[in-house]
Amino acid sequence: MRKLIILITAFSCALTVTKGQEEILMTIGNEKVTRSEFERIYHKNNSSVVYENKSPREYLDLFINFKLKVMEAKALGYDTMSTFVKELNGYRDQLAKPYLQDKEQIQQMLEETYRRITTEVNASHIAIKIAAGALPADTLETYNKIMSIRDRLLAGESFEDLAVTYSDDPSVKTNKGNLGWFSAFRMVFPFEDAAYKTPVGQLSMPVRTRYGYHILRTNAFRPAIGEIMLAHIMIRLHPNADSASQQAAKEKIFSCYEQLNNGEPFAEVAQQHSEDQASARNGGKLRWVRSGELPPEIEEKVFAIKDSGQYIEPLKSEYGYHIFQCLGKRPIKSFEELKPELEDRIARDERQKNTDLLFVEKIKKEYGFTTYPENVAELMEKVDSSIYENKWDPALEGELIDPVFTIGDRDYSQLELGNYIKKVRKPSKKESIESICKRQYDDFVKEMIIQYEKDRLETKYPEFRHLMEEYHDGILLFNITDDKVWSKAVKDTAGLQSYYNQHKKNYKWQKRADVSRYSTQDSSLVEKILLHAPQRKTKKWTPKEFNAIVSGQDSIQYIEVLDQKYEKGGDSMVDTMTWKKGTTKIFTDKNKTNVVYINGILKPQLKQLKESRGLVTADYQNELEKQWIEELRKKYPVTIHEEVLSAIK
C-alpha cells in the first residue's frame, strides 16, 4: 500500500477530455499525450519533496516510463481483472464521500452542535410510549393523548403533577419529569433539538423519538460548566436491598471516608475497597465527564468541588454509595480542537440523517424529481403479510413497469421498489405493512438519488475525474510492476543467484570485529565472565554451557550471550573499544552489566548471497526494471515534440 501511494503521487496521470483541441506534447505508441496533461502532473509532482526542482525535461523520462507501464498493463488486460475492479471501486467509494454531502450544511451542523456543547439546557418532559412502526390508528391515539396533556398544561395544570400521573419515563418517580442540565449528544437528537429550540418557560409541540411522543418544557439555559476528572470509591448496593444490606454498605463507605480523613491516599483506599473493579485498578480514576453524564443530585455536588485533590462526603446513587474526588477541571475545548471529535460523533448520530436529507433535497432540485404516488400506492397494495417472513416476491405480482419516481433522465420502476421492499430486514409484526412499505420507499428514494449523483461525479467534478484516473493508473502501475519487477526478483531464485555471481564484487564486508557480549543483572558474576570469556570460542562452549560454568546453575540463565560481527559504526559500545583481539570492556547501566569481548578482527571480504540478499534483491529489481523499460520503449515508440516541451515552464 505504501508503494501504491508513492506511485500515485509520483506518477499520477489524468487524461483530459479535450485532447483534440490541445497541443500534443508527445506520442507513445498510438496514444497522444497533450501538453496540458503533462503540465498538470509535472507541476503537481514538482512541488513534492521527492521531485522538487526537476525541470520539465528531467521529469519527462519519469513520466514516459510511467505511461509505458500503464499502457502495457492495459494491453495485458490488468484493468479487466476482478481484483483490480474491486480495489478501484473501493477507492472510489472512499473518494466519493466528500462529494455526497452538503459541505455548507455539515459546517452549519458542526457549529450548531458546538454551540449546544458550550450552552447547557435544563428541560422537563412527559413521555408517552409508542413503538417505532406502530399502526396508524395507534399512532393517532397516542398523539391525541399527548396533545390532550399539552392542552391541560396550557390551561395551567402542574407540569410535575401531570408528569407523575402520565409519563412513561421511569425516572419520573424521582425527578417529576425534570431531566436536569444536558448538552449536545446527551439525548436522542429530536429531543435535544426540541429542547434547544423551545423558548424558556414554553411548551414544545409533541416530539416523536424512537421511544415515543414527548412534550418538553425548556426551563433554563446556562454556559457549559466544563469538564471534571473524577476518581471514586464505590460500594455497590442493589436498589431493592434489605435494611441490613443497606446498613452494611453505609458502614463500609463511611469506613473508607474515615480512612481518607486519617490521611490515607485516595488511590490506595480505592484499590483496596472500591467495588467498581474497572476503576479500582487505576486508583478509582474515571474519565473526563461533562454536565448531564451524572445523576443531577451527584453532578451538582461534584462540580461544586473547587480544588483538585479534594473529596466529598459519601453520596448515594441508584448503584450504591460513592466518595468522589476531583482530579482536575477544564473548560470546554475550542471549536477547532473539538471539530474532529464532533465530525466523528455527528457521522454516527441521528443528526447526520438530517444533513443527508437536506443533501437529497438539494439533488432533487438540481436534477428535477418527480414522484408518482398512484404507482407507489398500487405496488404497496400488492404487499401482503408474507413480508413478515421475507417471502413476499414482487416478481409474482405481474408486470410492475410503471415508474415510482424519476430523477434527471432515470426512471425507477415499481419492480425496483418492490425488490427493495422485499429486502427489508426482520420486520416486526407490530409494524404495519403500510409502515414497512413507506419506510422502505423513503430509504429507496434516498439511496437511489445519492447513487444517481455518485454515478455522475466524474462528469460533474473534473478534479474527481482526475483523481479517479490517478488511482486507476496507480493501481495498474503497482500491479504490473509487482509482477514484472518486485515479486519476480524475490521469486526468481536462479536469476537472483546469477545476478549475484556476476556482481558479487559489489557486496563486500569492511573490516569487522567478531564480538561476544555477556549481559547480566548479577554484578558478582562479572569477574568470572572476564576469566572465562577468552576461552569460550576456543573450547566451543554454547551460551548455555558458558552460563553453567560461570554461574554454577544449569537451569537458570543468569547470563545473556550475544555473538555478533560489527563493522565500524555498527554498535555504539564496540565503536569505543580498541579493535584488537582480546580487548575487553565493561559497560554498566542501572539494570545490568555488559562485558564486551573482541574474539578477533576479520579482514574485508566478499559477502555471501544470504548475507546480502536484501541489497542484491534491490539491485536485481533495478536491473529487471531497466530491461523491462527498454523492451517497452521498443514496443511503444516515443516521439516528442521539442517545440512544445521547450514552451513548458
SS (H, E, C) 474-493: HHHHHHHHHHHHHHHHHHCH
Mean of the pLDDT values across residues 240-248? 93
Specify the CATH architecture of the domain 227-331: Roll (3.10)
Mean of the pLDDT values across residues 77-105? 95
Q: What is the DSSP string of 491-551?
A: H-HHHHHHHHHHHGGG-EE-SEEEEEEEEES-GGGHHHHHHHHHHHHHHT--HHHHHHHHH
Give the model's confidence band at 55: pLDDT under 50 very low, under 70 low, under 90 confident, else very high.
confident
303-320: pLDDT as tens digits: 999 999 999 999 998 889
Stated pTM of the model = 0.71
Mean per-residue pLDDT of the chain: 92
Whole-number Å distance between alpha carbons of 393 and 376: 16
Specify the pLDDT at position 48: 53
127-149: pLDDT as tens digits: 999 987 787 888 899 999 999 99
Whole-number Å distance between alpha carbons of 205 and 188: 16
**DSSP label at residue 334:** P
pLDDT at 76 over 50: yes
Specify the pLDDT at position 133: 75
In the chain, the percentage of residues whose pLDDT exceeds 70 is 96
Q: Do the Cβ atoms of 293 and 302 come closer than 8 Å?
A: no
Whole-number Å distance between alpha carbons of 596 and 236: 58
Residue 184 identity: A
Long-range contacts of 36-44 (CB under 8 A, 24+ apart): 37/13, 38/63, 38/648, 39/648, 40/14, 40/466, 41/11, 41/12, 41/13, 41/14, 42/648, 44/12
Q: Do the Cβ atoms of 554 and 565 come closer than 8 Å?
A: no
Residue 505 identity: K
Q: Do the Cβ atoms of 605 and 508 come closer than 8 Å?
A: yes
- SS3 assignment, position 418: helix
Specify the pLDDT at position 290: 87
Residue 470 identity: E
The gap from C-alpha 552 to its chain's centroid, in whole angstroms, comes to 54
Burial of 434 from C-beta contacts in 10 A (0-12 / 13-18 / 19+): middle
Residues 6+ apart with CB under 8 A from 562: 516, 517, 519
Q: Taken in order 594, 599, 601, 604, is the CA torsion positive or negative?
A: negative
Residue where the block lists cell 449546544: 116
Give the model's confidence band at 3: pLDDT under 50 very low, under 70 low, under 90 confident, else very high.
very low
pLDDT at 20 over 70: no
570-590: pLDDT as tens digits: 999 999 999 999 999 999 987
Mean of the pLDDT values across residues 458-473? 94
Q: What crossing angle do the helices spanning 335-347 and 351-367 adopt, rounded to 10°?
A: 80
Element (H, E) at 162: helix 159-166
Q: Do the Cβ atoms of 146 and 128 come closer than 8 Å?
A: yes
- SS3 assignment, position 210: coil
Residues 6+ apart with CB under 8 A from 174: none
Q: Do the Cβ atoms of 111 and 334 come closer than 8 Å?
A: no
Give the count of beta carbons closer than 10 Å to the beta carbon of residue 483. Answer: 13
Specify the pLDDT at position 21: 63
pLDDT at 9 over 70: no
